[in-house]
Structures are given as C-alpha cells and as structure tokens.
Amino acid sequence: MSENVSKAMNYIADFIKRASSEISEEEISRFLKILTSALANKRKIMVAGAGRSGLVAKSFAMRLMHLGFNVYVVGETITPSISKGDVLIAVSGSGSTQVVLSVASAARRAGAVVVAITSYRDSPLGKMSDHIVRVPGRTKIAKESDYFARQVLGIYEPLAPLGTLFEVTTMVFLDGIVWALMDILGLEEEDLKERHANVEFI
C-alpha cells in the first residue's frame, strides 16, 4: 500500500515539474502586473472557486493578505461589493463551473478585471476573462458543468486524479506567484509573519 502512496506522490511531483515549463511566461508576467497594480492603486482583489479549487483560491487569498493586499474570498460574510478597477481571480480547471461563471459575469458587469486560472483558454470562463493563466491539469470536462449540481446528484469525476492534478499544480503555481511578489515588493518572511493571525482557535 505504501508503494502506491509513493507512486502517486512521485507522479504528481513529476507532473508539476512538467507543467511549470508549460505555463506561459507572458501570462505570468501580466498576472503579476495586474496584482501589483491593484496593490499600488489600492484596489480590492477577490478570489473565487468551487470545491477543492475554491480551497486553493482561499489559500492564495491568505498569502496575498500576508503580503499586504486588500483581498477577499467571494461568498464570505464580510466580503464587500466589487467595483470598477478591482480584480477577480477565478479558479476553475474546466472553466465551466457554473457558480464561478456567475461570479465572473457579475464582476465583469461591475467593471472589474477578471483573471481566469484554468486549463482551458476557450472555456466559457476563459472567453469572459480579461486575462488567462493556463495551468495544465484536467484532460476531461465533466458532462455536468455545475459543481453543486454534480454533488447533489452524486455525479463525480470518473478519474478524480485528473482534477487533483489541476488543483495541486495551481496551488504550487500560486505559491510561486507569492514568492515572485515577495521579490518584487522587497518583502521577507518576517514581513509576512507580522500580518499572520495572532487570534486563533486553540
């Protein structure tokens, strides 16, 4: 059994390494410029995603907060309205998850900059976004595009690891973005620690 765990870990690690060379440098550079511009102009950044992709988005939001960004997670009770010039970062492997599309559509109507992190540039999310960062991962798109509908109906991905590859690769990619932002902003780990939560559940 332990051999299967090791095999899976090595497979995922190898995939991430290959994916790192496939993500466009131009797309990364523009993404960084969008983020740093939002910080400089005191704009809000919001992140959105469903399921495990949503958890990855939340993890990125936490790090952006540590870096000093004005960042929120869509769906939380304290999340304010999005305004013109703000940024929405939408994470969806398929680019077809209905709840994420609804959020992205609302952000566009408000005049926000929509950034899609997806495996499919030509997906509905990709087509409505101002900027796309293509992260390799999924090779199949589910027949039922609405994440919550799939959960209620009990429809799950026939090959769950395919979704996992996108989510884990995106997590590592966004951590790379955090490191790049630290370098651009001249921040050290101690600077991030100053903003880390000091009121926590024990």
pLDDT digits (tens, 9 = 90+) for 8-21: 788 888 889 999 99
Considering the domain boundaries, does residue 194 fall inside one?
no
Instruction: Identify the pLDDT of residue 194.
Output: 81
Residue 31 has pLDDT above 90, yes or no: yes
Instruction: Identify the pLDDT of residue 4.
Output: 77
pLDDT in tens, 116-143: 999 999 999 999 999 999 999 864 555 5
Which contiguous run of DSSP H or E holds residue 93? none
Instruction: Identify the pLDDT of residue 160.
Output: 38
Return all residues near 66 (Cβ < 8 A) that are at least 6 apart: 192, 195, 196
Per the CB < 8 A criterion, the answer to whether 42 and 70 are in contact is yes
Q: What is the CATH number of the domain that holds 26?
A: 3.40.50.10490
Q: How many domains does the chain divide into?
A: 1
Considering the domain boundaries, does residue 15 fall inside one?
yes
Instruction: Identify the pLDDT of residue 60.
Output: 98
Considering the domain boundaries, does residue 104 fall inside one?
yes
Considering the domain boundaries, does residue 191 fall inside one?
no
Name the token pair of 191: 């600077």
- Residues recognised as catalytic: 167
Per the CB < 8 A criterion, the answer to whether 104 and 128 are in contact is yes
Considering the domain boundaries, does residue 178 fall inside one?
yes
Instruction: Identify the pLDDT of residue 1.
Output: 63
Torsion angles phi and psi, residue 89, rounded to 5:
-105, 110
Considering the domain boundaries, does residue 78 fall inside one?
yes
Determine what percent of the chain is predicted with pLDDT higher than 90: 69
Q: Which domain holds residue 51?
A: 2-184
Considering the domain boundaries, does residue 195 fall inside one?
no
Considering the domain boundaries, does residue 52 fall inside one?
yes
Which contiguous run of DSSP H or E holds residue 90? strand 87-91
Residue 112 has pLDDT above 80, yes or no: yes
